Amino acid sequence: MNLILLGPPGAGKGTQASRLMKERGLVQLSTGDMLRAAVAAGTPVGLQAKAVMEAGELVSDEIVSGLIGERLDELGPDTPVIFDGYPRTAAQAEALDALLAARGRTLDHVIELEVDEDALVERITGRFTCANCGEGYHDRFKLPKADGVCDVCGASNFKRRADDNEATVRQRMAEYRAKTAPIIPHYEGRGIVARVDGMASMDAVAAAIDAVLGA
C-alpha cells in the first residue's frame, strides 16, 4: 500500500502517519523530517534548506524528490509507505509518479485532511515533540499524561520547531493554498482521493482514515 497524506501545516498529517506506522507497519516518509535532519547534521542539503524553511517557503523540488527517491531505494519494493508532506507542488507530483513507476509501486490512496485555517495557528503554535523519540504533543490537545514526561519513552526533554510561529505558519498556509491544493485534481481522475474532516478529534480522524483504508 502507498498512501499520500495531504493537508496544510498543522492538519494532523504527522500525528496520523505515526499512528499508521505503529498500527499497520506503514513507513512514514516525511520530507519535513528528512530536511530537519539534514539541517541538524549540516549536510549540503541542510545548508541550502535552512533559511527557506525558516521563512516558511518551499525547498526546491529537486532536493525533496531526491530525498524521497533515496529513501524508497533504501526501503526496497515491498514496504508500504505513507508520504507525509510530499508532494507539495505539481512538479513533485509528477516526479513522484515517475519514482513510483520506476519501482513498480502504485498509489492506492490520497487522503486530504480538511481543516479550518484559523484553527491551524493554534495547532501549530501549541505543537511540541519529545526530543528523544519524536512523539508529538500539544499544549492544549495532547499533553503528556505525567507532567513533563514523554508517554512513550519516559524522557523529559521536549522541543519546538523554529518555524512553528504565527508569521511562518501564515506563509506556509499561503504556500499550501497556492501550490499544494492545486495538485489534488492530478489524483482526482484516478478515483483515489478521499477527504477526511481534520477538525474532528484525533481519534475520530483516525477512524475516518481507517474507514478509507479498509481492514
Active-site annotation, residues: 13, 88, 127, 160, 172
| Eight-class DSSP state of 88 | -
* Residue 215 grid cell: 481492514
Contacting Zn ion within 127-166 (CB under 5 A): 130, 132-133, 135, 150, 152-153, 155
Q: Tell me whether residue 128 or residue 187 sits nearer to Zn ion (CB atom).
A: 128
For the chain, the residue count is 215
The residues with which 83 forms a beta bridge, in sequence order, are: 4, 29
CA distances from 151 to 84, 116, 138, 144 (A): 23, 29, 13, 6
Q: How far is the CB of 145 from ligand ADP (least distance, A)?
A: 14
Residue type, 59: V
The residues with which 112 forms a beta bridge, in sequence order, are: 6, 195
Q: Tell me whether residue 157 or residue 201 sits nearer to ligand ADP (CB atom).
A: 201
Residue pair 195/112 in contact (Cβ under 8 Å)? The answer is: yes
Residue 120's binding partner among ligand ADP, Zn ion, none (Cβ under 5 to 8 angstroms by kind) is none
Q: Which residues bind ligand ADP (CB under 6 A)?
A: 7, 9-15, 31-32, 35, 52-53, 56-59, 64, 85-86, 88, 92, 123, 126-127, 136-138, 141-142, 172, 201-202, 205
Q: What are the strands of the beta sheet with 158-159, ordered from one edge?
A: 136-138, 127-130, 158-159
Residue 153's binding partner among Zn ion, ligand ADP, none (Cβ under 5 to 8 angstroms by kind) is Zn ion
Q: Tell me whether residue 2 or residue 15 sits nearer to ligand ADP (CB atom).
A: 15
Q: How far is the CB of 35 from ligand ADP (least distance, A)?
A: 5
For 184, the 3-state DSSP assignment is helix
Residue 85's binding partner among ligand ADP, Zn ion, none (Cβ under 5 to 8 angstroms by kind) is ligand ADP
Q: Tell me whether residue 113 or residue 193 sits nearer to ligand ADP (CB atom).
A: 113
Q: How far is the CB of 94 from ligand ADP (least distance, A)?
A: 13
Measure the CA–CA gap between 21 and 28, rounded to whole angstroms: 7
Cα separation of the two ends of the chain: 12
Q: Which residues bind Zn ion (CB under 5 A)?
A: 130, 132-133, 135, 150, 152-153, 155
